[in-house]
Amino acid sequence: MVQICAIASGSNGNCYYIGNEKEAVLVDAGISRRQILKRMKMKRLDIRKVKAVFITHEHSDHMRGVRVLADTHNMPVYFTGDTLKNTRVQHRPENIKLFDAGDSVDIGDLAVHSFSKNHDAADPVSFRVCINGISIGVFTDIGEPCDNVKEHLANCDVAFLETNYDKDMLWDGPYPHHLKVRVASGNGHMSNDQAVELVNSLPGKRLKHLFLSHISAENNKVEFVLDAFKKIEKDVNIIATSRYAPTDVLELNEVFADQ
């Protein structure tokens, strides 16, 4: 059985759980250890199964809790070299593992594939995790979707996909102009419309479960995101994530495709 859960998703903290009966990984740990444990306990997920944390980039909403979590539970944390160089000292755990974008890492029966993406960080990466033929991708903090993102998303059965902002809310909203420009840039975040366009461009029908992720509190509304994806919900199970609480655990037993 494969278990998948957004522990937290948003600009105040991100953490994604992917695992099987024996082991699991977290992608990012941007909320406190206390909150990660509390939310995992709510969903009956066992922290003892988590064997590693993979960091997408150095922004604090993706690594705020990683040092305390990893050092307390003796977990390795995977960084690219440039991400580590740009990580604040207080966020650096003891057990650091380095990898290059494009590398794959095996954690027990989990194969974690990394790839570069467009975002305003030193060396931003995303991950696709393969377990028993099921492929799960984490696609957040993306500006313009590059070929890497398109290729890996096309090979996913399940995806956490960024739907950060509604265009009208962003440009009419309270952010200063320079921040609006940053969010909407090719190295910023992905809008609802961009995410829908990306999913509609995918070849084939492999994607079955879609977590709408990193939804802005200031520049988006869950109902806007859900409405944007209404046309595909008959083919894809649509799940909205939250910054305040974990999603229900998606449990899958079926082998969808070869890794």
Number of CB atoms found within 10 A of residue 30's CB: 27
Tell me the CA distances in angstroms from 139 to 60, 75, 169, 214, one per residue in order: 17, 23, 22, 10
For residue 158, list its beta bridge partners: 136, 209
Would you state the pLDDT for residue 205?
83
Confidence of residue 255 (pLDDT cuts 50, 70, 90): low
**Coil, strand or helix: which one is 25?**
strand
Cβ-contact 243, 213 below 8 angstroms: no
Number of separate helices (H) and strands (E) present in the chain: 8, 14
Asked if the model's pLDDT at residue 42 lies above 60, the reply is yes
Tell me the CA distances in angstroms from 81 to 99, 201, 207, 258, one per residue in order: 7, 33, 32, 31
Say what percent of the chain tops pLDDT 90. 94
Would you state the pLDDT for residue 204?
83
Would you state the pLDDT for residue 233?
86
Tell me the CA distances in angstroms from 72 to 58, 110, 240, one per residue in order: 21, 23, 31
Tens-place pLDDT, residues 153-202:
999 999 999 999 999 999 999 999 999 999 999 999 999 999 999 999 99
Q: Which helix (H) or strand (E) holds 4?
A: strand 2-8
Q: What is the mean pLDDT of residues 117-143?
A: 96
Asked if the model's pLDDT at residue 259 lies above 60, the reply is no
Instruction: Write a three-state SS string for 128-176.
Output: EEEECCEEEEEECCCCCCCHHHHHHHHCCCEEEEECCECHHHHHHCCCC
Mean pLDDT score across all residues of the chain: 95
Say what percent of the chain tops pLDDT 70. 98
Q: Which domains does the chain have, with CATH numbers?
A: 2-246 (3.60.15.10)
